[in-house]
Amino acid sequence: MTFPAANRIAKLQPSDIRLMTRECERVGGINLGQGLGDLPAPELVRDGAIQAIRAGLNTYTASEGVPPLRRAIAAKLRRDNGLTVDPDGQIVISGGTTGAFAATLTALLNPGDGIVLLEPYYGYHLNTILLNDLEPQFLTLTPPDFALAEAALQAVIKPNTRAIVVCTPSNPSGKLFSAEELAIIARVADRHNLLVISDEIYEYITYDGLPHISPASIDGLAERTVSIMGFSKTFSITGWRLGYAVAAPELARAINLVNDLLYVCAPSPLQYGAAAGLQASQDYFAKLRGEYQRKRDILCTGLTAAGLTPIVPKGAYYVLADISHLGYPSAKAAALGLLITTGVAGIPGSSFYQGREGESLIRFCFAKDDETLHEAIERLAGLR
């Protein structure tokens, strides 16, 4: 007897990020594909979790998270994002930002609703949208600036459109949305009564002195925005799966209802570790930005020397590089070919687009130690 898979997953495709990681492991290559964040977690964060375990804080927590973490997040939002929120009614701790995103879609949107995705997009956003039987509606932004125009955004809105996803800093492009572009989103969202879902997981990783601007801080967006943030990238704890959603009280209550059903609660001792991390000095965050900018420049210089023209990112820790001149029939073929010939794994640009725009691109991650980056660059230099 066989049992068919559910219809809701019929349109889902396995992630090329997972595929390239497996292929890289198979050949013993250097993985510049998946955003694993190989840098060490801060001692403050590690010790906070260890102390919580030793103190016996290992049982279920409230589904919205432990009070010390929610209070620390509220203070951080006021200090760094220009947002004043109630830690007891507007913050929901979840299983990573992907968990917060899934809970948000399930709680606030209905099957058949349209949701705008800006290309290039993060593949997990698309698959979670499809899993919820929502209709993705795509707006392609053009490199190298990936600028957002109001007329273009207005043109993709349909009668069933209910939401728009903004990823800033963006994975995979590294784009930072400006205050002017976020004001465009505010106007269109107000015009059509849209929910705005902002993924800000890379908020502390920005370059060249450019600031991260939280969409909810823009006039007209606070009440209609769900801000999704987390700790994986800031503290290099991707395996801890800790993220959170910030929203108006009525939205947060709905998100927390689903969050409880999906995850019960985030891991208790790890929440205390994240709370300790948010007590870090501003020097920590400045050093983080400087360190990743240095790594960005190492990789972009190496890619240029190898003939793989980089689209230099303004934030996050990925870079899209042009591989069109290598002659491969597709970005996926190019990514697999580069892995075989150089031993370096990247992610095909087609993972981030619906159309052909991604077929000339590969995404590389530079959240690696310097020795790994230099070894990867040396291998890629053979493409010349």
What's 33's domain CATH number? 3.90.1150.10
Average pLDDT, the chain: 95
**pTM (two decimals):** 0.94
Instruction: Provide the residue range defining the domain that includes 327.
Output: 8-41+283-383
Q: Is residue 133 part of a domain?
A: yes
Pair (233, 311) in one structural domain: no
pLDDT tens by residue, 163-218: 999 999 999 999 999 999 999 999 999 999 999 999 999 999 999 999 999 999 99
Pair (264, 334) in one structural domain: no
DSSP SS3 for 137: strand
Q: How sure is the predictor about 38, in pLDDT bands with cuts at 50, 70 and 90?
A: confident
Cα dihedral across residues 328, 330, 334, 337: positive or negative: negative
Q: Is residue 315 part of a domain?
A: yes
Q: Is residue 1 part of a domain?
A: no
Which residue among 222, 257, 277 closes a domain?
277
Pair (257, 306) in one structural domain: no
Across the range 348-369, mean pLDDT stands at 94
pLDDT of residue 3: 82
Q: Is residue 306 part of a domain?
A: yes
Q: Is residue 368 part of a domain?
A: yes
Pair (77, 167) in one structural domain: yes
Where in the chain does DSSP place strands (E)? 30-31, 91-94, 114-119, 135-140, 161-167, 195-199, 225-230, 243-246, 309-311, 318-322, 344-345, 347-348, 361-365
Alpha-carbon distances, residue 133 vs 79, 127, 128, 166, 186 (angstroms): 37, 10, 9, 20, 25
Q: Is residue 3 part of a domain?
A: no
Q: Is residue 288 part of a domain?
A: yes
Q: Give, to the nearest 10 degrees, the angle between helix 249-263 and helix 96-108.
A: 120
Pair (236, 146) in one structural domain: yes
Pair (139, 107) in one structural domain: yes
Pair (266, 303) in one structural domain: no
Pair (95, 35) in one structural domain: no
Alpha-carbon distances, residue 80 vs 264, 272, 282 (angstroms): 29, 20, 10
Across the range 14-28, mean pLDDT stands at 86
- The count of structural domains within the chain is 2
Across the range 226-255, mean pLDDT stands at 96
Q: Is residue 2 part of a domain?
A: no
Percentage of the chain surpassing pLDDT 70? Answer: 100
Smallest CA-to-CA distance from 361 within 54, 159, 146, 169 is with 146
DSSP SS3 for 193: coil
Q: What is the DSSP letter of 315?
A: B
Domain holding 129: CATH number?
3.40.640.10
Percentage of the chain surpassing pLDDT 90? Answer: 89
DSSP SS3 for 197: strand
Pair (241, 295) in one structural domain: no
Which residue among 257, 277, 297 closes a domain?
277
The alpha carbon of residue 326 and the mean position of all alpha carbons in its chain are separated, in whole angstroms, by 29
pLDDT of residue 1: 61
Across the range 328-334, mean pLDDT stands at 94
Smallest CA-to-CA distance from 337 within 299, 308, 305 is with 308
Q: Give, to the nearest 10 degrees, the angle between helix 123-131 and helix 96-108.
A: 40
Q: φ, ψ for residue 243 (rounded to 5)?
A: -145, 180
Residue-wise DSSP of 234-254: TTT-GGG--EEEE--HHHHHH
Pair (259, 238) in one structural domain: yes
Token readout for 225 is: 């925005």
pLDDT at 122 over 80: yes
Which residue among 215, 244, 277 closes a domain?
277
pLDDT of residue 20: 87
pLDDT at 34 over 70: yes
Across the range 307-330, mean pLDDT stands at 95
Across the range 306-310, mean pLDDT stands at 94
Cα dihedral across residues 229, 264, 195, 138: positive or negative: positive
Q: How sure is the predictor about 6, in pLDDT bands with cuts at 50, 70 and 90?
A: confident
User: Do 37 and 367 contact (CB within 8 A), yes or no?
Assistant: yes
Q: H helices of 35-192, where? A: 43-54, 67-76, 96-108, 123-131, 150-156, 179-192
Q: Are strands 161-167 and 135-140 parallel, antiparallel or unpaired?
A: unpaired
Pair (37, 48) in one structural domain: no
pLDDT of residue 12: 83
Q: φ, ψ for residue 166 (rounded to 5)?
A: -120, 125
Across the range 257-283, mean pLDDT stands at 96
pLDDT of residue 331: 95
Across the range 322-332, mean pLDDT stands at 93
pLDDT tens by residue, 65-104: 999 999 999 999 999 999 999 999 999 999 999 999 999 9
Pair (59, 49) in one structural domain: yes
